[in-house]
C-alpha cells in the first residue's frame, strides 16, 4: 500500500485529535471534533484550513504573459498592476477543464499559479509540455505551503501577526489582490464565501503561524466544513462539478472565459463551436432529506444530475449544484431521487450564502 502524503502540519492535526482521512492520496483532517461548529465559526468569526497539499507554481520568463494568454481561458491581459489576481480554467483542446486555478501577477517576467492538489501532476505536465515554445521556466514551489484563514474576523487576526510592512500592505488589499514581503505572500481570494486571506509562506514556518493563529482564537477547520462552506458559496469543486469531460459552458463558469478576438487559447475553437445541452444551477430541497452527488434530477425538460449536494448548515436546508437541461431556469420545480423517493426541489441561482447572508429563498 502506498503511504499517504502529508503536509507539514500533519503532526499538529494528530495532536489536536483531528479525524484524518485519505483525500486524493493525502492524509488530511476531516474535522477536529465538530464539522458543524467549524462551519459556523467561519461564517461568524474565523477559521483556518490546512491547504498545504495544494501547489504553488511560479512561472518565469520574458514571455510569461503570452504563455498564460495561450494556456488560460480567462485573459491575464486584465492584470495591469503587480499583485492583481485572476480566477481561470485551464482547458484542453476539446474545451474540457484540466484544472481551475488562481493566477497572480508578480512582475512581467513572473506570474504565480495556485493549483489543485489532485491535478498537480497533470497540470505540471501540461505547463511543461508547452513551456519550451515560450522559453518558460516552470518552478513547482514544494518549499512553500498554504494556509487559508476565512471569516468576518479573519483579516484582523492575521494582520496582527504579520510584520509591520506586510501588515500595512495587506490591510488595504482589495479582493483578488495580493501583497508580499520576501517569501511571505498574502492573497485575498477565498473558497468559503467569506472574507479572509490565503497565506503562502515557507513550509517550515507553517507550524509557527498555525499556533499563533490558534492562540488568537482562530478555529482549526477540516475538509468537511470546507466543503459545506464552498457549497453554500456556490463554488465548484474539481472532480465533482467539473473535469476534462465538461466545459466551462456546462459548469457555470462561462464568466471566467474571455472569448475576445484578440487572442487564441487552448479550447477556444471548441467552445465557439459547442452547443451545450446542459448548464449548472442551484437546488434547494423542499422535502425532508439530503441531496448528494450523482442523484438524478427530473425536470419538465429532461433529466439532469446533481454534481455536489449536502446539508447547508447556514440555511438549515439541503442544497445542491446540478447540471440540467438548458431550458431549466431559476424558480422551476424539479424532483430529485433520494434513496428511492422523488423529493421536491426548487431551482435557484447560486450562491446560496455570501458574507454570512442567505441569498436564496429557503421557505
The distance from CA 102 to its chain's CA centroid, rounded to whole angstroms, is: 9
61: phi > 0 → left, psi -120 to 50 → alpha, else beta; which?
left
256 phi and psi, to 5 degrees? -95, 0
**Strand-strand pairing, 219-221 and 47-50:** parallel
Q: How is residue 16 written as a grid cell?
A: 489536536
Beta bridge partners of 341: 338
CB-CB contact of 313 with 332 (8 Å): no
Q: How is residue 69 written as a grid cell?
A: 494568454
pLDDT score for 1 = 62
pLDDT score for 93 = 97
Q: Is 6 exposed, middle or buried (0-12, 13-18, 19+ CB in 10 A)?
A: middle
Cβ neighbours for 32, distance < 8 A, ≥ 6 positions apart: 13, 16, 17, 18, 19, 38, 220, 221, 222
The distance from CA 231 to its chain's CA centroid, rounded to whole angstroms, is: 10
pLDDT score for 221 = 98
pLDDT (tens, 9 = 90+) of the chain, 363 residues, equals 679 999 999 999 999 999 999 999 999 999 999 999 999 999 999 999 999 999 999 999 999 999 999 999 999 999 999 999 999 999 999 999 999 999 999 999 999 999 999 999 999 999 999 999 999 999 999 999 999 999 999 999 999 999 999 999 999 999 999 999 999 999 999 999 999 999 999 999 999 999 999 999 999 999 999 999 999 999 999 999 999 999 999 999 999 999 988 899 999 999 999 999 999 999 999 999 999 999 999 999 999 999 999 999 999 999 999 999 999 999 999 999 999 999 999 999 999 999 999 999 887
CB-CB contact of 21 with 28 (8 Å): yes
Beta bridge partners of 19: 31
Q: How far apart are CA 360 and CA 328, in angstroms?
A: 17
pLDDT score for 361 = 87
Q: Which structural domains are found in the chain, ordered by start?
A: 1-233 (3.30.1360.120), 277-358 (2.40.30.110)
Smallest Cα–Cα separation from 1: which of 27, 19, 31? 27
* Mean pLDDT across the chain: 97
Angle of helix 35-44 relative to helix 223-232, nearest 10 degrees, comes to 50
pTM here?
A: 0.97
Among the residues of the chain, which ranges form H helices?
Answer: 10-15, 35-44, 64-71, 120-134, 154-159, 164-171, 206-215, 223-232, 268-272
Q: HSE on the CB side for 219, CA within 13 Å?
A: 25
**Which letter does DSSP use for residue 238 in this model?**
B
Amino acid at each position: 500500500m502506498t503511504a499517504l502524503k502529508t503536509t507539514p502540519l500533519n503532526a499538529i492535526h494528530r495532536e489536536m485529535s483531528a479525524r484524518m482521512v485519505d483525500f486524493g492520496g493525502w492524509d488530511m483532517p476531516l474535522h477536529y471534533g465538530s464539522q458543524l461548529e467549524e462551519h459556523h465559526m467561519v461564517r461568524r468569526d474565523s477559521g483556518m484550513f490546512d491547504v498545504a497539499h495544494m501547489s504553488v507554481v511560479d512561472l518565469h520568463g520574458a514571455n510569461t504573459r503570452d504563455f498564460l494568454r495561450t494556456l488560460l481561458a480567462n485573459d491575464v491581459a486584465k492584470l495591469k498592476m503587480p499583485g492583481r489576481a485572476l480566477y481561470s480554467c485551464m482547458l484542453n483542446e476539446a474545451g474540457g477543464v484540466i484544472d481551475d486555478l488562481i493566477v497572480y501577477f508578480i512582475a512581467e517576467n513572473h506570474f504565480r499559479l495556485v493549483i489543485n492538489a489532485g491535478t498537480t501532476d497533470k497540470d505540471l505536465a501540461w505547463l511543461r509540455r508547452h513551456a519550451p515554445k515560450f522559453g518558460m521556466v516552470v518552478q513547482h514551489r514544494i518549499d512553500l505551503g498554504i494556509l487559508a484563514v476565512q471569516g468576518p474576523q479573519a483579516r484582523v487576526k492575521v494582520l496582527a501577526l504579520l510584520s509591520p510592512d506586510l501588515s500595512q500592505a495587506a490591510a488595504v488589499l482589495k479582493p483578488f489582490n495580493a501583497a508580499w514581503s520576501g517569501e511571505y505572500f498574502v492573497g485575498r481570494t477565498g473558497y468559503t464565501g467569506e472574507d479572509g486571506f490565503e497565506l503562502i509562506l515557507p513550509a517550515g514556518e507553517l507550524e509557527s503561524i498555525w499556533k499563533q493563529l490558534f492562540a488568537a482564537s482562530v478555529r482549526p477547520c477540516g475538509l468537511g466544513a470546507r466543503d459545506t462552506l464552498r457549497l453554500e458559496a456556490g463554488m465548484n469543486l474539481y472532480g465533482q462539478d467539473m473535469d476534462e469531460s465538461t466545459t466551462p459552458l456546462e459548469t457555470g463558469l462561462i464568466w471566467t472565459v474571455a472569448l475576445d478576438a484578440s487572442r487564441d487559447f487552448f479550447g477556444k475553437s471548441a467552445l465557439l463551436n459547442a452547443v451545450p445541452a446542459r448548464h449548472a444551477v442551484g437546488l434547494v430541497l423542499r422535502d425532508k432529506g439530503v441531496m448528494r452527488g450523482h442523484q438524478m434530477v427530473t425536470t419538465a425538460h429532461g433529466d439532469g444530475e446533481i454534481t455536489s449536494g449536502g446539508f447547508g448548515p447556514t440555511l438549515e436546508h439541503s442544497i445542491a449544484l446540478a447540471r440540467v437541461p438548458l431550458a431549466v431556469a431559476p424558480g422551476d420545480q424539479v424532483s430529485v431521487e433520494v434513496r428511492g423517493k422523488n423529493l421536491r426541489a426548487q431551482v435557484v441561482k447560486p450562491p446560496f450564502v455570501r458574507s454570512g447572508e442567505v441569498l436564496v429563498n429557503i421557505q
